[in-house]
């Protein structure tokens, strides 16, 4: 992996994320793992054969914690620590 575009994404979700690098290829189970200090989740991803990238749409930050009723404090803490 060389880079991820865009470098920063909105905590509200909806951003298209592209993983760019040498040696990437299509697979029957393309996934992107999102890590925080509180755990990890996986997203289904799509191979773009034209650009040779793996792509996904990032959900809202609350998705990392399983739903909409996540405290504002936890969201802010995660934003500060990074994903």
Please indicate whether residue 57 or residue 35 has the higher confidence score (pLDDT): 57
Is the confidence at residue 68, as pLDDT, over 80?
Answer: no
Question: b/e string for 51-70 if b means 16 or more Cβ within 10 A?
Answer: eebbbbebeebbebbeeeeb
Residues linked to residue 25 through DSSP beta bridges, in sequence order: none
Query: What band does 82 get if pLDDT is binned at 50, 70 and 90?
Result: confident
Query: Mean pLDDT across the stretch 6-34?
Result: 90
Give the pLDDT of residue 26. 92
19: how many CB neighbours lie within 10 A of its CB?
17
Give the pLDDT of residue 18. 96
Concatenating the DSSP letter of every residue in 44-81 gives E-EEETTTTEEEEEPPPGGGGGTSS---HHHHHHHHHH
């Amino acid at each position: 992996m060389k880079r991820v575009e865009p470098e920063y994404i909105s905590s509200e979700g909806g951003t298209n994320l592209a993983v760019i690098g040498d040696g990437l290829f299509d697979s029957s189970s393309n996934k992107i793992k999102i890590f925080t200090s509180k755990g990890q989740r996986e997203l289904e991803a799509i191979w773009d054969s034209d650009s040779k990238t793996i792509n996904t749409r990032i959900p809202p930050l609350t998705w990392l914690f399983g739903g909409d009723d996540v405290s504002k404090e936890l969201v802010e803490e995660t934003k500060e620590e990074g994903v």
